[in-house]
Amino acid sequence: MERLRQDDPARIGDLVALARLDAEGSRGVPERRYLARSVDGGHTVLACLPPPGGDPARWAGEVQQAARLTQPGFWPVAQIGGTPAFPWYASPYRPVLPLPAALAAYGGPLPEPLVRTLGGTLAEALASAHVLGIVHGGVCPAGVLLTACGPLLGCFGATRANPVAAASPAQATGLETGCLAPETAAGGAPDRAADVYALGAVLAYAATGHTVPERQEIPAGLRDIVTACRSRAPEDRPEPARVLAELLPGAAYGALAGATEPVSLPGRVVEALSRQSAEVLAAALPTQGR
């Protein structure tokens, strides 16, 4: 857990903030994320607020869209609250590491088998959203939340695949360098091909520690599919289902996203998840506000 700072809220609605999820100086974090507990101590949640300097009204509107995305493989939006000036949402807590924290715990890029599982699971989740006409529009390393049962994709940024309703490039601020597709950066609305481009950036990050690595830095077994996802031409990027097939040949579609059985994680990552869980359970509610 990361300590609260002086400028962090002590209360989020009827919740008490315990700690930050993201380390100080983390890049590309789409929102402020806190581990929090109800004032009666009855339940613990991950509570989220707009990013610093963000537009609370626009953020709240995107949260309303994200709440409709209940597909397996996505971190759920379970409770929405607050005011127009201070909106927030919360989800039931489970031990979770943002992807950058997982790499930090491991001490570098993740092993290729885990990168394949991670990428295949995210590809399956995106495919299920795209079938419903939903574009995520905010896929990035900090938006990938790794649990003991595999990765979940944070819902923030999800929009209907209607050019009128989709977020504009100006709204896509905060994404890590390399996650924004060229056509989106040039003024186009986020679409399914842009999600695949961002998925390629996440794969590159998990495998190398960078969203824009040199081709030779990418492990040989992942090089072709990552390069294809990150093609500058949207029509040359693969569909998410093909990404899944390339990463995990023979995997049954629908068996990954939302899995309830633990996946094979490096010991140091498991240790970090366990330590976070223990610290959250042991955390005492503050006796007075800051």
**What's the confidence (pLDDT) of residue 231?**
97
**What's the confidence (pLDDT) of residue 41?**
87
261 lies in a domain?
yes
**What's the confidence (pLDDT) of residue 245?**
94
Q: Count the domains in the chain.
A: 2
Tell me which residues of the chain have a pLDDT lower than 70: 157-176, 286-290
287 lies in a domain?
no
Measured CA to CA, the distance from residue 213 to residue 209 in angstroms comes to 8
Q: Which domain holds residue 106?
A: 97-265
| Whether residues 76 and 101 fall in one domain | no
- Cα–Cα distances in angstroms (integers) from residue 248 to residues 104, 118, 152, in the given order: 25, 10, 17
Task: Tell me the pLDDT tens digit for each residue of 225-273.
Answer: 999 999 999 999 999 999 999 999 988 777 787 778 899 999 999 999 9
245 lies in a domain?
yes
4 lies in a domain?
no
HSE-up of 245 (CA within 13 Å, CB side)? 6
**What's the confidence (pLDDT) of residue 25?**
81
Q: Which helix (H) or strand (E) holds 244?
A: helix 240-247
User: The dihedral of CA 36, 38, 43, 45: what is its sign?
Assistant: negative
288 lies in a domain?
no
5 lies in a domain?
no
Measured CA to CA, the distance from residue 134 to residue 181 in angstroms comes to 17
Whichever domain contains 59, its CATH number is 3.30.200.20
| Whether residues 31 and 114 fall in one domain | no
SS3 content of the chain, % helix, strand, coil (to 5): 35, 15, 45
**What's the confidence (pLDDT) of residue 261?**
86
| Whether residues 121 and 257 fall in one domain | yes
Measured CA to CA, the distance from residue 67 to residue 155 in angstroms comes to 8
**What's the confidence (pLDDT) of residue 254?**
76
Task: Tell me the pLDDT tens digit for each residue of 194-238.
Answer: 999 999 999 999 999 999 999 999 999 999 999 999 999 999 999
Beta bridge partners of 78: none
Measured CA to CA, the distance from residue 34 to residue 101 in angstroms comes to 15
- Cα–Cα distances in angstroms (integers) from residue 172 to residues 21, 140, 224, 269, in the given order: 21, 11, 27, 30
Residues 49, 15 contacting (CB under 8 angstroms):
no
**What's the confidence (pLDDT) of residue 236?**
98
**What's the confidence (pLDDT) of residue 71?**
83
| Whether residues 183 and 228 fall in one domain | yes
